[in-house]
């Protein structure tokens, strides 16, 4: 996403008229409609999920709602629009599909599995290694899709009775521009296991979907 004030990147999960995603500090939540003429109308809002002051918003406000219109050109989607909170400022963005070929197979969820939804993810390296990252992760019927401004994650999980496990592949979709990448810029497979609390589960049900990188046009 690009304006005269600068640019930002992130990932989006697109499904059944809805859009969810984000980057290391902000979540993106919105909807879209496609007309018979192929024009796509988008309304999407930002919401801070990481309070680290090193991540500043593109504008003074953490919450901005964008109205965008655009079309598909080849595999990409190009958009232009604005925000009611910022009259006169033009936003341009391009969505590029993320390959899902590396994603592991999905296994049916067990009883009482973790709920579908958009989650904030915080990665911390162990064994004395100084490193970590934050981003967003969408859980959808055994699929994992997520990422941040430079990386995307595709994976799969199983969950039941407060326990879950899975695997994902971390891929650099945009050069990290001198910032220290978590895994040295390499594509890395990660296995994990852990627990979850039912009271923290989010309930959102979706059908088929696709993942995209959202970047300046």
- Does residue 77 lie in a domain region? yes
The reply to whether 127 and 154 lie within a common domain is: yes
Name the percent of the chain lying above pLDDT 90. Answer: 27
Number of helices and strands in the chain (H, E)? 0, 16
- Does residue 43 lie in a domain region? yes
- Does residue 161 lie in a domain region? yes
Number of independent structural domains in the chain: 2
Tell whether the model's pLDDT for residue 146 goes beyond 50.
yes
- Does residue 104 lie in a domain region? no
Give, as one character, the DSSP assignment of residue 107: -
Tell whether the model's pLDDT for residue 39 goes beyond 90.
yes
Tell whether the model's pLDDT for residue 73 goes beyond 90.
yes
The reply to whether 90 and 138 lie within a common domain is: no
The reply to whether 145 and 198 lie within a common domain is: yes
The reply to whether 50 and 129 lie within a common domain is: no
- Per mean pLDDT, which of 76-80, 150-154, 189-193, 210-214 is the most reliable? 76-80
The reply to whether 94 and 126 lie within a common domain is: no
The reply to whether 79 and 144 lie within a common domain is: no
The reply to whether 91 and 22 lie within a common domain is: yes
- Does residue 111 lie in a domain region? no
Rounded Cα–Cα distance for residues 87 and 84 (Å): 6
What's phi and psi for 200, nearest 5 deg? -95, -5
What CATH number is given to the structural domain containing 58?
Answer: 2.40.128
The reply to whether 164 and 199 lie within a common domain is: yes
Q: Give the bridge partners for 2, in sequence order.
A: 7, 92
DSSP per position, 36-85: TTS-EEEEEEEEE----TTS--SSS-S--EEEEEEEEETTEEEEEEEETT
What's phi and psi for 106, nearest 5 deg? -90, 135
| Mean pLDDT to the nearest integer, 177-192 | 69
Cα separations (Å) of 208 from 72, 121, 211?
19, 23, 11
Q: List, in sequence order, every beta strand (DSSP E) within 128-179.
A: 132-140, 143-147, 151-160, 163-172
- Does residue 123 lie in a domain region? yes
- Does residue 55 lie in a domain region? yes
Per DSSP bridges, beta strands 76-83 and 163-172 are unpaired
The reply to whether 149 and 89 lie within a common domain is: no
The reply to whether 158 and 198 lie within a common domain is: yes
Tell whether the model's pLDDT for residue 126 goes beyond 80.
no
Q: Cα 70 to the chain's mean position, in Å?
A: 20
| Mean pLDDT to the nearest integer, 67-78 | 95
The reply to whether 132 and 202 lie within a common domain is: yes
Please report which confidence band the pLDDT of residue 188 belongs to, taking 50, 70 and 90 as the band edges.
confident
- Does residue 184 lie in a domain region? yes
Helix (H) or strand (E) holding 97: strand 86-97
The reply to whether 140 and 169 lie within a common domain is: yes
Q: Cα 102 to the chain's mean position, in Å?
A: 17
- Which residues span the domain enclosing 25? 9-98+211-215
């Amino acid at each position: 996403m690009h304006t005269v004030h600068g640019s930002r990147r992130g990932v989006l999960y697109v499904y059944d008229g809805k859009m969810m995603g984000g980057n290391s500090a902000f979540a993106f939540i919105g909807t879209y409609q496609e007309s018979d003429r192929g024009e796509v109308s988008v309304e999407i809002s930002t919401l801070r999920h990481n309070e680290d002051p090193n991540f500043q918003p593109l504008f003074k406000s953490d919450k901005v709602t964008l109205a965008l219109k655009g079309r598909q050109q080849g595999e990409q989607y190009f958009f232009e629009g604005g925000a009611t909170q910022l009259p006169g400022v033009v936003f341009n963005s391009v969505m590029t599909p993320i390959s899902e070929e590396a994603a592991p197979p999905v296994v049916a969820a067990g009883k009482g599995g973790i709920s579908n939804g958009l989650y904030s993810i915080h990665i911390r390296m162990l064994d004395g290694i100084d490193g970590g990252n934050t981003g967003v992760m969408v859980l959808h019927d055994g699929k994992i899709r997520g990422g941040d401004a430079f990386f995307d994650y595709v994976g799969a999980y199983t969950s039941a009775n407060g326990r879950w496990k899975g695997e994902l592949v971390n891929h650099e979709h945009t050069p990290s521009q001198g910032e220290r990448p978590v895994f040295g810029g390499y594509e890395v497979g990660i296995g994990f296991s852990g627990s979850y609390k039912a009271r923290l589960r989010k309930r959102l049900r979706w059908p088929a979907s696709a993942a995209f990188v959202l970047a300046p046009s």
